[in-house]
Amino acid sequence: MTVTPGPAQVEGLLVPNADGSFSRQGAIFHDQRMMQALQTGDLSPLRPMQDESGVPLAANAVLREDEYELFDRTVQNSYRDELVIYGDLASRGLTFGLGNAMGITELKWEDVDEVSDAERSMYAGTQPTEDLPNFTTRRLPIPIISKGFHLDLRTLEAGRREGEALDVTAAEKCTRKVSENVDDLFANGGFSHGGIEVYGYTNQPQRNTGTLTAAWDGTATGAQIVSDTLSIVDAAYQDNVPGPYVLYIPYNYVSSINDDFKSESDKSIRTRMLEIEGLDAIRPTRRLTDEVVLVSMRREVVDAVVGFEPTLVQWETMGGMVAHFKVMSILVPRVKRDADGRSGIVHYSES
């Protein structure tokens, strides 16, 4: 069944009193609830819930607190499995937080050109060479990535009466779709707004590119794979961008690099690759096909603009008979280059 959302409905906000009762505090429209989220960056107005006994903490709340917790656990567990590329940046602290992500559609910052070298002198009064740096304004669209589903109130109540557990399959599938889309944006870009592109690792114009000697799907030998990896790491060093590096590979390369480096060797190809100085990790991802990408995990190369990770929000239509849910996130890659147009990203593909 497809449900077309109708106009916003009036609801009253119920606030708890000291004696445990609730009082209605004004009338709030659904679009006002959204406005509150836009103005403050707080998504909690979009997450109305009931307490464990079914008393609404906000009018028109459909899910009980334990049901919301079940949905939230499902969302969190699902996106953590899929956000490989974003997760690598977040775990290293390479993030830039947006204070009010819902109210920001574009991020602006300034790049500064390189200045001349510092000087050595024995005298404190030596006049240094003073530079006038050139500033270049950069802009980045901030898209929302989302996927939704709905629940019929009657179906939900029937399940409660029969003691059935809340089916979270839809929330899980929507979360995975959102997470896949986020990681694909980090890997491949593919979004633009107002003529401004969001670049990923494989389409950033200043990235270093090259060709693999042979496909790493079983065609290339261990020696060829290691030789390719040495060339890839060297390309980053030649751009004067040190590690630590993470090498991303598609899933169809995984079994090959886990093979022995050579016949009767005590090392796998993966082990030999990780012995290369600067290479910190090899990460398989479903976002790549017949290609590998090396990324220097440094803030001057890339960081993740973070509004919020996948989060479940809810609203109602048809007099509260249908509850609509949306898993949404604001996670955007900010792939950078230096004043000379150099990048710490190396992208090699099959010929």
Q: What is the pTM of this model?
A: 0.77
Q: Which of 107, 104, 101, 105 is nearest to 42 (CA)?
A: 101
The per-residue pLDDT for range 11-68, each reduced to its tens digit, is: 333 344 555 544 434 333 444 444 455 455 555 555 544 444 443 434 445 566 666 6
Mean of all residue pLDDT scores within the chain: 79
CA distance 270 to 258: 6
Continuous segment of H or E residues that includes residue 184:
helix 169-188
Q: What is the CATH number of domain 208-302+338-349?
A: 3.30.2320.10
The per-residue pLDDT for range 125-175, each reduced to its tens digit, is: 777 777 766 667 888 999 999 999 888 888 777 767 765 656 678 888 889
pLDDT recorded at residue 120 = 79
Spatial contact of 105 and 144, defined as CB atoms under 8 Å apart: no
β-pairing verdict for 322-335 and 145-152: antiparallel
Residue type, 58: A
175-208 burial: b if 16+ Cβ within 10 Å, else e: bbbbbbbbbbbbbbbebeeeeeebbbbbebebbb
Same topology between domain 10-91+141-198+305-335 and domain 208-302+338-349 = no
> 202 falls in which pLDDT band (50, 70, 90)?
very high
> 243 falls in which pLDDT band (50, 70, 90)?
confident
Work out the average pLDDT over 255-275: 86
Q: Which of 37, 47, 6, 301 is nearest to 144 (CA)?
A: 37
Domains of the chain, by residue range, sit at: 10-91+141-198+305-335, 208-302+338-349
pLDDT at 178 over 90: yes
pLDDT recorded at residue 76 = 73
Plot region of 319 (φ>0 → left; ψ -120 to 50 → alpha; else → beta): left
Residue with tokens 């060093």: 237
Architecture of domain 10-91+141-198+305-335: 2-Layer Sandwich (3.30)
The per-residue pLDDT for range 269-295, each reduced to its tens digit, is: 999 999 999 999 999 999 999 999 999
